[in-house]
Amino acid sequence: MNISLKGKKVLVGGSSGGIGKAIAQQLAESGASVTLMSRSEEKLKKIVAELSTDQGQKHDYLVVDFADFHDYREKIYNYFVTNTVDILVNNTQGPAAGSALEKQTVDYQEAFNLLFKTVSYTTELALKHMKANKWGRIINIASVSVKEPLSYLALSNTIRAAVVTWGKSLANDVGQYQITVNSILTGYFDTDRIAQLNSKKAEQLGISEDEVLADMESRVPVKRIGDPKEYGYLVTFLASENAAYITGTQIPIDGGLLKSL
């Protein structure tokens, strides 16, 4: 199966590293013109320079801070004044780790702004062109923790679950415009985020980070954590014409980690 996204314009959040970067790289390899979004202009410039341009693509970047919703709203609004996208990948950095007992109401509000309001507002702006064009792809990056909550990620468990149910509701409304909306439930991947979480867990348990990683891998049926490239392959498929009849789903990419159906 050959996937071509030539002529498509994509906006990818959280794309200065890890899963977001891998998604952007694979979409570019498939012919799409990609705009990256993240906080680090230095990293964004470097990645843009590395993205494939073999099919005449033009890539760009937008410096944003998802954690500052007021500033983000202004920047993303201005972006859509002069730009349109065919494919939107909603992805942000995760909120601070911690249990439900450690978090207060203000923490949940900040996480809501970070994980939900940025996603819903960006999608609202992107949908104008998609509806007029009668074609679009919205892909939300979520977590397996929306099905099986992780005790140390109370904020992510809660707000990402809201994103997934919102995505299902939206899919019902925009299907008539040939726009698909899907959420991906992320398992363990080799990223800086996982390394940071493992470091905190190792400190709490009084063991080494290698031991934390080994325990993590032992819980995954395929006995390893994922390569971000594998994530990029799934997103690219969902963004393509081949996935036109797939919408309203929540697709785990976790090496079989989830025990529930």
Q: How many CB atoms lie within 10 A of CB 74?
A: 12
Residue 193 scores a pLDDT above 90: no
Residue 259 included in any domain: no
Domain containing residue 21: CATH number: 3.40.50.720
pLDDT above 70 covers what percent of the chain?
100
Q: Are residues 195 and 72 in the same domain?
A: no
For 178, the domain range is 9-187+228-252
Q: pLDDT of 113-125, one tens digit each?
A: 999 999 999 999 9
Residue 224 scores a pLDDT above 90: yes
The set of residues, in sequence order, having a beta carbon less than 8 Å from that of 185 and lying 6+ positions away, is 142, 143, 144, 146, 147, 164, 250, 251, 252, 253, 254, 258
Q: Are residues 124 and 210 in the same domain?
A: no
Q: What is the pLDDT of residue 26?
A: 98
Q: What is the pLDDT of residue 192?
A: 87
Residue 87 scores a pLDDT above 90: yes
Q: Are residues 154 and 234 in the same domain?
A: yes
Residue 258 included in any domain: no
Find the angle CA(76)-CA(38)-CA(58) to the nearest 5 degrees. Answer: 75
Q: Are residues 148 and 221 in the same domain?
A: no
What's the predicted TM-score (pTM) here?
0.95
Q: Are residues 155 and 239 in the same domain?
A: yes
Mean local confidence (pLDDT), 149-154: 92
Residue 235 scores a pLDDT above 90: yes
Q: Are residues 118 and 232 in the same domain?
A: yes
Q: pLDDT of 26-56, one tens digit each?
A: 999 999 999 999 999 999 999 999 999 999 9
Q: pLDDT of 126-143, one tens digit each?
A: 999 999 999 999 999 999
CB 13 within 8 A of CB 92: yes
Residue 260 included in any domain: no
Domains: count for the chain:
2
Residue 204 scores a pLDDT above 90: no
User: Average model confidence (pLDDT) for the chain?
Assistant: 96
Residue 190 scores a pLDDT above 90: yes
Mean local confidence (pLDDT), 57-83: 98
